[in-house]
Amino acid sequence: GLFSNEPLPSLLYRCKIPTPYDVSHMERVVFPPWKKFNHHVVLGSSISQATPTTKILNEATDAFAKSPYLATSRKGRMFVVFREGATAEDVLSAYLMSQRYARNGNDLNEASNYAKKNTRRFITTIRKAGWKTESSVFLLNVLKNRSVW
């Protein structure tokens, strides 16, 4: 699948990304692609849910100081908080990070580095398949809890 442990560059050349037309004929309604992964990731978490202690808050805001989102993890779950001004591409980057996190043994640092390195290629690949990555469908219910740090 698209989110295996195989390196993303070789995987993207090997896998066929379905077009929006293909997906619309498989599904009656297209839900945000992360909908079925809610058991391990909360995209659009509130800051209080993601950072239940001051220590976790300080560590997360330091680690993600220049990022459009921050992420924390505990007990195998990842919580992603979006900064005010986050875009649909930022949501896709966080989604890519969450999928890597779930498949790499729950290593948040490695998942974050993976997303930074591969987001541009991921977005380029899905755009070539016909996906409109600037679409507001990627923002549905995800950016309701925006924060400032």
With 90 as the cut, is the pLDDT of residue 112 above it?
yes
What integer best gives the mean pLDDT of the chain?
Answer: 81
With 80 as the cut, is the pLDDT of residue 144 above it?
no
Strand 41-43 to 77-83 pairing: parallel
Three-class SS of the chain = CCCCCCCHHHHHHHCCCCCHHHHHHHCCCCCCCCHHHCCCEEECCCHHHHCCCHHHHHHHHHHCCCCCEEEEEECCEEEEEEECCCCHHHHHHHHHHHHHHHHCCCCHHHHHHHHHHHHHHHHHHHHHCCCCCCCHHHHCCCCCCEECC
Name the pLDDT band for 4 (thresholds 50, 70, 90).
low
What residue type is assigned to position 1 of the chain?
G
- Helices 108-128 and 88-103 cross at an angle (nearest 10°) of 130
Name the pLDDT band for 143 (thresholds 50, 70, 90).
low
pLDDT value, residue 55: 97
In sequence order, the β-bridge partners of residue 10 are: none
Name the pLDDT band for 114 (thresholds 50, 70, 90).
very high
Sketch the domain layout of the chain as residue ranges. Answer: 8-147
With 80 as the cut, is the pLDDT of residue 10 above it?
no
Three-class SS of 112-129 = HHHHHHHHHHHHHHHHHC
- Supply 119's token pair: 């987001």
pLDDT value, residue 136: 61
Q: What is the mean pLDDT of residues 112-134?
A: 90
